[in-house]
Amino acid sequence: MRNQAGIVQFSISLLSFLLLTSEASWSSEGKAPLKPKLILQITVDQLRGDLPMRYYERLGEGGLRYLLDEGIVFSNAHHGHANTETIVGHATLATGADPAVHGMIGNVWLDRGSGELRYNVEDARYPILTEGAGVDKRTEIDPTQKAARSNGRSPAAILVSTFSDELNLHHGGRSKVFAVSVKDRGAISMAGHTGKAFWFSKKSGEFVTSSFYYDRYPPWVAEWNARKPADRYAGKSWELLHDRSTYLFGEADDRPYETALPGYGRTFPHAYGNADNKYFTTLLTLSPAGDELTLDFAKAVISNEGLGNDEIPDYLSVSFSSTDYVGHLFGPSSLEAEDNILRLDRTLSELLRFVDQRVGLNRTLVVLSADHGGPEAPGYLAELGFEADYIDPKSFDKAGAIQRLKERFGIGEELITTYFHPYLYLNRKAIAAGKLDQAEVELAVAEELTHFDGVALAVSSSALATGNVRDTPLMRSILKNYNPSRSGDIFVVFEPNRFINDFDGLKVAATHGSPWRYDTHVPIIFAGMGMPPQRLARKVHTVDIAPTLSLMLGAKLPSGSFSEALGEVLESVPD
């Protein structure tokens, strides 16, 4: 009995100690950490991690400079997956999961059932509310958008929850969750399964959504679109913000490797044309105007939906896309990219000023990152003495080594049916008809591809499925991208500074999508909420953002997130 009494007394003492230490660690005054009224998640498409500091001396006071000076800056942040594309990065930022888990392994993937490419957020069940506002394939320059077979859109293909989902679930569905972007995939991924997403239709010149989110547009959206904000750019041009002599690349406006779209050209000024020009709205998205329209609509969301107006935390994702489009057409080390960053800085400054006015930055948690980085244009690298060039996967099937494999396996037709980055797809019908072993054919093709000019590594999905691969950083990044139901037959990694530049006949200056550091390196910055500034050089990953947000808000971690939270951020939240 004495032993039992001692155990009881010890248990009571231990419980008291745990309660006391728990209270002490919670707050020296017994108060819970201050919660934000608004979480503002900003994603800048193709903002490589070094670019904000590259132009630091010419930044304004309220945008990027505010974030760099007043925020918690992780200067060595990276995506951990191998396919650094838009939907892959956005979904990773949203879910805190690797693409192997969240399922968005590429901007498109081959649907084995139908044999057709599937666009990542396509869902024929939920058409866009504005009739005729889907993709116009005659004027669309984004090859992944052209893969869509319908105008329906939803987040159904995202296999796990997002932070915004968990925030909403935690507050009984009372958190207001919105996401805005020029790109549908940039908005839909961040809004998750429970929020509302809006994106820019280049076909209609409006911000649109689908029937997954609404039966009809809220009146304020209809009114905003009725004002036709895009038309204010009609007859105007993208002009330099400052005197040309002040730019790092001021004397490099006309380079032969830059993309010269008809009527838009590769030198300033870049004319938008008239509103009745079928390419008018497309050209807006290829310039800072796309970000300015996104900003205007985001401000309308904040005002009309009352974000941050009460003590229940709300969420707004704003994904700015112009940096990506400009990077593709002209390269990140171009006069256009430089001017775009300076204009993006102004756009961010206006967004933060507006949020401070409506909600208060002291009650707003701001986090900025990017869906991927981006490489230098091969033409620019060649000017500096690097060996860099473009590569054409369409030629692979005609190569002598693949022809010999066809003879070896008795295949009298195509063995490689298509390549859609980063996956190569084999002719499974021919392999099955010849009663061949799929894994053996994959392995043989992958082995031959590693000897091709410009190919650094090719690894079969069969090898990834069994784990029969070397344990290297590169291979781990490929495994993080592998999903057995969606990944192609062979993952191909090109050598550094070797790129694809032909997209349905459009030649671009630069293309991201690799596991090399120039594509994985992105900024991660937390700001607002009175958090003291810090600059940290330790390596962190984008999967760390979502669990950090969840823990700060006291919500469950997103269902597919197995990463670590950023302790420096959690420790900086004031009581």
Q: Is 21 a catalytic residue?
A: no
CA distance 92 to 100: 10
Residue 477: closest CA among 519, 526, 431, 417: 519
Torsion angle, CA of 330/335/337/343, rounded to 10 degrees? Answer: -140
Do residues 68 and 525 make contact, with C-beta atoms less than 8 angstroms apart?
yes
Of 43, 84, 86, 323, which is the active-site residue?
86
CA distance 355 to 308: 9
Could you tell me which residues come within 8 angstroms of residue 501 by beta carbon, excluding any fewer than 6 positions away?
Answer: 378, 390, 507, 508, 509, 510, 511
Q: First vs last Cα of the chain: how many Å apart? A: 46
Burial of 445 (0-12, 13-18, 19+ CB in 10 A): buried
Burial 469-485 (b: 16+ CB within 10 A, else e): beeeebbebbbbbbbee
Neighbours of 146 (CB within 10 A): 15
3-state secondary structure (DSSP) of residue 313: coil
Residue 347: closest CA among 301, 287, 306: 287
Q: Which residues pair with 194 in a beta bridge?
A: none
CA distance 327 to 336: 8
Q: Which residue type sits at 562? A: F
User: How far is the CA of 278 from the CAs of 136, 137, 281, in angstroms?
Assistant: 10, 12, 8
Residue 367: closest CA among 74, 113, 106, 105: 74
- Positions annotated as catalytic residues are 86
